[in-house]
Copies of this chain bind each other. A is one copy, B any other.
């Protein structure tokens, strides 16, 4: 546990190393938080929920940091408004890194001593590790938002995490359907390993026969959608989606730009031509839904996705922590491809509590439950997700208009 904890803590700092202090400070949009804030917030999380309640004699590093780095825990206290996180030039990056070191030393002390065996503490540290992994992924998506807003269009590193190219596309573009009988199936997390509260309780669900595309929808597929006027045909869109298209002026995925006769996109590798046989990414739920309707199919429910993933025994790549793979790998062990490690996949399921779900007691109870309205579930994981972080029961969630994440889609349909 200690080893995983400190490997995770180091990894967060490593992700920030290619950046200047300035890159780490600004906020590209209300959705995207500064790198520095992620560095501070994940540290505040351990200080607030592990050290203060569990390390006798621990003295708070700086009493003002609670205001700076609390995200949304109403029960913990006031905080810097989310949309003003990018104004915090103080504490400096240097001071935040000192804060990290100081909290890490205290965590070492805690884990070295006999309380290190305390089960409650281990459980909250496990939560903290997973929380920090989520912020590693956000750190990457948020820094992409910063880099994409630069007139100079810089790259993050020479070989950043990026989407792998694939062979074969969606079912209407040479790919295959995989069929599933459905029936009553048990869904959700049901063993003693770590999972978020929103993956429980495990419960039975009735599934109707369905089919799922073997592969993700690609940029090549998406270019057809654009060329066919997909962004200009109101009947393809949900009403809210059509309003968003017109209000925001969408004509392509986020970060795409038409230049010199071809579509380019901004990624961590800089501003490059769109690669046709990569999965499409940075699309909203509205766009995913419109694309599926244009193709005459639909999006899967979150339970169809989970059922298929369980049936084919696919899993997220469990690589050694601390070394982020330079490019995501394909799963080799199943027909069902690209379930993990490429892009998060929009489902048609709204983000709702499972039957008998109750959020945990205390501030940790604010983690998931209070967001269960008006959002859609995404399943899988992306090439920005830390190795080993996701699983078949994992539920990610965003508002249907959000596009700054690594979000794509896989087609589904009814099985006659």
Question: Residues of A with Cβ closer than 8 Å to B?
Answer: 20-26, 28, 36, 64, 67-68, 72, 74-75, 80, 84, 86-93, 146, 149-152, 154, 184, 203-206, 208, 234-235, 237-242, 285-286, 289, 348-350, 352-353, 355-356, 366, 370-374, 376, 400, 414
CB A276 to nearest CB in B, in angstroms, measures 29
B374 touches A23 (CB 8 A): no
Instruction: Check A28 against B87 for contact (C-beta < 8 Å).
Output: yes
Q: Which 10 A-B pairs have the closest CB atoms?
A: A350-B350, A74-B234, A22-B89, A206-B206, A22-B25, A23-B89, A90-B152, A239-B370, A208-B355, A21-B21
- CB neighbours of A91 from chain B (8 A): 152
Is the Cβ of A208 less than 8 Å from the Cβ of B89? no
Q: Which of B25, B88, B414 contacts A89 (CB 8 A)?
A: B25
A237 and B64 alpha carbons, distance in the complex (Å): 27
Give the residue of B74, B90, B146, B149 whose beta carbon is less than 8 angstroms from that of A235.
B74
Cβ-defined contact, B240 with A151, below 8 A: no
Contact, CB under 8 Å: A20 / B92: yes
Bound-state CA distance A88–B64 (Å) is: 27
Asked whether B25 lies within 8 Å of A366 as measured between CB atoms, the reply is no
Q: How far is the CA of A205 from the CA of B205 in the complex (A)?
A: 8
User: Would you list 13 pairs from A and B whose C-beta atoms are within 8 A, ordered by A residue?
Assistant: A22-B25, A22-B36, A22-B90, A26-B89, A74-B235, A88-B150, A89-B150, A91-B152, A208-B355, A208-B356, A238-B370, A285-B373, A348-B352
Q: Is the pair B89, A146 in contact by a Cβ cutoff of 8 Å?
A: yes
State the CA gap A110–B198 with chains docked (Å): 57
Contact, CB under 8 Å: A238 / B372: yes
Residues of B near A25 (CB, < 8 A) are 22, 25-26, 89
Task: For the complex, give the distance between the alpha carbons of A204 and B74 in Å.
Answer: 40
- Contact of A80 with B151 at beta-carbon distance under 8 Å, contacts A23-B89, A89-B23, A93-B22 already known: yes
By the criterion CB–CB under 8 Å, are A240 and B373 in contact? yes
Q: Which of B86, B146, B238, B352 contacts A373 (CB 8 A)?
A: B238
> A36: which B residues are within 8 A, CB to CB?
22
CB neighbours of A373 from chain B (8 A) = 238, 240-241, 285-286, 289, 376, 400
Which residues of chain B are within 8 angstroms of A150 by Cβ–Cβ distance? 87-90
By a CB distance below 8 angstroms, the chain B residues around A348 are 352-353
Q: Which residues of B contact A20 (CB under 8 A)?
A: 21, 89-90, 92
- CB of A67 within 8 A of CB of B151, answer yes
Report how far A88 CA is from B203 CA in the complex, Å: 49
Interface centre among A64, A149, A349, A373 (most CB of B within 10 A): A373
Task: Please determine whether B208 and A87 come into contact, CB atoms closer than 8 angstroms.
Answer: no
Taking CB atoms, residues of chain B closer than 8 Å to A350 are 350, 352
Q: Is the CB of B371 within 8 A of A87?
A: no
